[in-house]
Amino acid sequence: MIIIRSPQRISIGGGGTDLKSYYSRFGGEFISAAIDKYIYVSIIKPFKNGIYLKYSDNEKVTKIGDITHPIFREVLKKYESSNNQIEITTLADIPSGTGLGSSGSFTTALIKGLHSYRYLDISKRDLAEAACEIEIDILKEPIGKQDQYISSFGGIKQFEINKKGDVVVKNLSISQETQTNLEENLLLFFTGYTRKASSILQDQDKKTSKEDSFMLEQMHFVKEMCSNIRLALEKGDVEKFGDLLNRHWQEKKKRSENMSNDKIDQYYEIALNNGAIGGKVVGAGGGGFLLFYANDARTLRKKLSSLGLSELRFRFDFEGTKQINI
């Protein structure tokens, strides 16, 4: 049995500049961090012929082309086109639609798993690009390269994309003290809303492609914020980091009326009045998790918990997508 673990992520700054409609003209830059919440993929050869897929649904088919799950279908078509005897099971710590990059995490885990199943190695960069090819080039999802890269590499990373789409991966020079501070004072709370990121990203992609001046100004702003966030973190200025998160979110939510809603805005304001310096909705927006940096984590935790919000405690993952031994 092959078991692969791939981390989910929190987006910290520059999200949206990883879409081709933007980076092909201006270059992209974003910061993301992998966390210890995972997608798991296990692969075995069953006793009987057939392709058995077990996820939130179950599929049993004899031909890869009959698979209804698009990522399963396209990945198997590319890497296991002649295999009609395989069983793949997926499990997730956190459900999809919550803004933690589950789709990219799943795709990297599946591709890594099929390589391991054939006793083949694949580099972290090649794995990330292979996942991007499936989701962006083949399935035409209106998404960027952030999720595939951070799930593959792990860690707290800055990514720069040139106009050709080449990605430079950089480790942030963060002290152990700052890392510990972030793990203790970055808090994630589930809003109670799930959503599909593609609708928000599709609107952004369309406006960027049409050179909508407001959208381009938004994207330039978050790209600049990304650089400022990196400097603050590398200096250990966590108070400045929290303030930049707040400024980043206040601007980002202007992109679309679906980016936030009255309830999320209410939670956000309550958080700022109860220990949070700044925060944001993780991912494309519209629901999922609220991320806050707090200078009084205890007060913030107590207040939001009293409102019925569930906290997801986490630590950073520095290994990325990997095979695990049992």
The count of structural domains within the chain is 2
For residue 24, is it within any domain?
Answer: yes
Pair (166, 44) in one structural domain: yes
Q: Is residue 179 part of a domain?
A: no
137 part of a folded domain: yes
Evaluate whether residue 180 is within a structural domain.
Answer: no
Q: What is the per-residue pLDDT for 209?
A: 80
pLDDT for the residue 251? 85
* pLDDT the model gives residue 136: 97
Nearest to 12 by CA among 315, 208, 248, 234: 248
Kindly state whether residues 154 and 197 are assigned to the same domain: no
The CA-to-CA distance between both ends of the chain, in Å, stands at 9
In a domain, 59, yes or no: yes
Same domain, 152 and 219: no
**Mean pLDDT of residues grouped by 10 in the chain (326 residues)?**
97 91 95 98 96 96 96 97 93 90 97 97 98 97 95 97 97 95 96 71 78 88 93 96 94 80 93 97 81 97 96 97 91
Residues 168 and 209 in one domain: no
Q: Same domain for 247 and 116?
A: no
Does 191 lie in the same domain as 113? no
Can you give the pLDDT at residue 195?
A: 66
Asked if 227 contacts 240 with a C-beta cutoff of 8 angstroms, the reply is: no
Q: What is the predicted pLDDT for the residue at 197?
A: 61
Q: Is residue 79 in some structural domain?
A: yes
Question: What pLDDT sits at residue 258?
Answer: 76
CB 233: neighbour CB atoms within 10 A? Answer: 26
Instruction: Tell me whether residue 181 is in a domain.
Output: no
Measured between alpha carbons, how far is 31 from 256 in angstroms, rounded to an integer? 22
Answer yes or no: do 231 and 137 share one domain: no
Looking at the fold, whether 211 and 109 belong to one and the same domain comes out as no
Tell me, what CATH number does 101's domain have?
A: 3.30.230.10
pLDDT at 157: 97
Domain co-membership, 66 together with 146: yes
Per the structure, the complete domain to which residue 197 belongs is given by: 186-312
Q: Do residues 196 and 262 share a domain?
A: yes
Give pTM, 2 decimals: 0.94
210 with 130, same domain?
Answer: no
